[in-house]
Structures are given as C-alpha cells and as structure tokens.
A = this chain, B = another copy of it.
C-alpha cells in the first residue's frame, strides 16, 4: 500500500495540465489563470505536496543550509553561540549542520572537507586550539565559499570575523585588580596557539606595564586542556611557590572556578588574600562562593552577528558581487562581583 509521493507530475496528471503550469501556480507566477491556480493550490494542499528539496537544491544550486564547526559543544560559551546562530538562521529559513572538532586539527580538516562536499551555502567556524593558518581554511576561501570566523580566529585568513577585543578586555580586567590594590598578579593563560589566549596574555602584560608593575614570566601559567582541574592545580602551585601573589587573572571562568575551589579548600580568603577574576561570564560564576568577577562576552549576539555576516556573503556571492570582508568587534563588559572586591 505504498503511497506515491506527491510530485508536480502527479498533480499535473490529475488536473490534466502541464508540470510547468503546476510549478508556476505554486510559485505565484503571473501567467497562470486564477482558476487553474486555485485548482492547483487546492489539490496540492489536499495531497500534502511539499517540494522535493533534493531536486530544488540541484536546480537552484543552493541548499539553504550552512555548516558550523566548533571545538566543543558542551561548553557554556559555545553552546550560547550555537543558540544565537541557529535562532537567527531559522529566522532566515536556513538550517545549521553542526560539527565538533574536539580541538583536533585532523578532525577539523576532515569536517571542512565534509561540509565542502555537502555543498553547504556557507561555513561558520571557530578554530580548534591546534589549528591556525592552514590549508583546509584556505581551501574554503579559494573555493569562494561564504565563510565567517568567530572567537578563535586566525588573523592571517582574509574573511569576515566576529570577535571581541580580547586584549582590551583582559587589560581592563587586570587594571581592575590593580585598582583594588593587587601588587603581584599572576595569569593563568590559555594554550599557545589560539589568538584569543595570546591577546588576553598581551592585555595582561600591557596592564602591568602601564601601571609600572614588572612583568614576571614565572607568574604565567599555561593551560593545555583549559579545565577545572588545571585551575585547581595552578592555584596550588601559585600558593606554594609564590606566596606573595595577591591577584589572579584567569583565561576563563571554568578554570577560575578551579582556582576558587583550591583557595576555598585551603582557607585562603578571596578576595582579601587573593583576588580572582575570570573571563566569559559563565552562568555558574554568579552561583559559586564567592561570586566570581569576570568579563562578559556577548556569546548569543556573537552567534547572531556571525550568521548575519555569513548571510551577507551568501547573497553577495549569489549575485556575483565582490566579497566584502567585515570585522565585527563586539563590546565586552567588566562584571565585578565578590571575588575581586577588596
């Protein structure tokens, strides 16, 4: 009792008209009489006709689908960005295919290839920690596929980007620590590769210089996995080896929470003995004790903007117009809570 799929052909045959006319009627072409249009629309409704998107894709050469590659889904920041992207995409009738690079360059390459083969209309991406300026990214550009990077970007790639001013935001965070009286500030930084880890580090350094605090490279600790455990561990090292540290600027809230956990367990008073400030404004940071000071990153808006930039490019490419490269720098906000109020 296999039901036959409703196609234009089926409708055409039932009404004894041509496929062409059926198609036109459904797409509101002007050269079909009101009478036939009505008949077509009614029968289409009755038979639950939906255009075969495979055929439409082939014919129009677009799939109304974009690809998104991010390092990690289970992450407050990234899942918020995803949220923004798919919400905005849906508004514009686009669907989103999500891939997770797991911070692996190899996987990332495979996934870019997958998306290219899939012929998505565009790609949004945040780089894995391992990758930087690589061939797979260049191929996207070379193929003239609309492409937007956000957050973890490569400065070398000529494409639209949505970022924050990491250096400035980090500087502000560290200056805040200085303002509340910190004299010796440690920095738990992100991995070596990612641009934003570099920039936050540079911001840290700049704030010290500006306030005539000498930079000590022994006070910089580099995360590899960017985890709670690393925060805990580095906090321990700091307390053991640098008892005079009175402030810590941490690459991201999750790690900062690890720092707080160690300090709490060892009865080191925050912020009295050591002030702590994180980055990203993770939901959890206002829930723990003491509430964590941090830098708010507009993650949802980042997703929205990234999609809109991509949409612009998609439209430009479609009309064979030259590609416009836009760099969007979103505002961040210093959020001062208990962990840095002296």
CB within 8 Å of B: which residues of A?
50-55, 57-58, 61, 63, 65, 73-76, 79-80, 82-83, 86-87, 90, 95-100, 111, 114, 116-119, 228, 257-258, 261, 264, 283-284, 287-289
Contacts of A54 in B (CB 8 A): 54, 57-58, 61, 63, 119
The answer to whether A97 and B99 have CB atoms under 8 Å apart is no
B257 touches A287 (CB 8 A): yes
A83 touching B95 by the CB < 8 A rule? Answer: no
Q: How far is the CA of A100 from the CA of B73 in the complex (A)?
A: 14
Asked if B97 and A95 make an inter-chain contact with CB atoms under 8 angstroms apart, the answer reads yes
How many copies of this kind of chain does the complex include?
A: 2
Contacts of A75 in B (CB 8 A): 79
Cα(A74)–Cα(B83), bound, Å: 7
Q: Are B87 and A100 in contact (CB under 8 A)?
A: yes
- Complex CA distance for A61 and B98, rounded to whole angstroms: 22
Task: From the candidates B65, B116, B288, name the one contacting A288 in the complex (CB within 8 A).
Answer: B288
Chain B residue nearest to A119 (CB atoms) is: B53
List B contacts of A87 (CB < 8 A): 100
A98 touches B86 (CB 8 A): yes
B289 touches A287 (CB 8 A): no
Residue from B57, B98, B257, B264 within 8 A of A57 (CB atoms): B57
Name A79's contact: one of B73, B99, B257 (CB within 8 Å): B73
A100–B86 touching, CB < 8 Å: yes
Q: Which residue of B lies closest to A118 (CB)?
A: B53
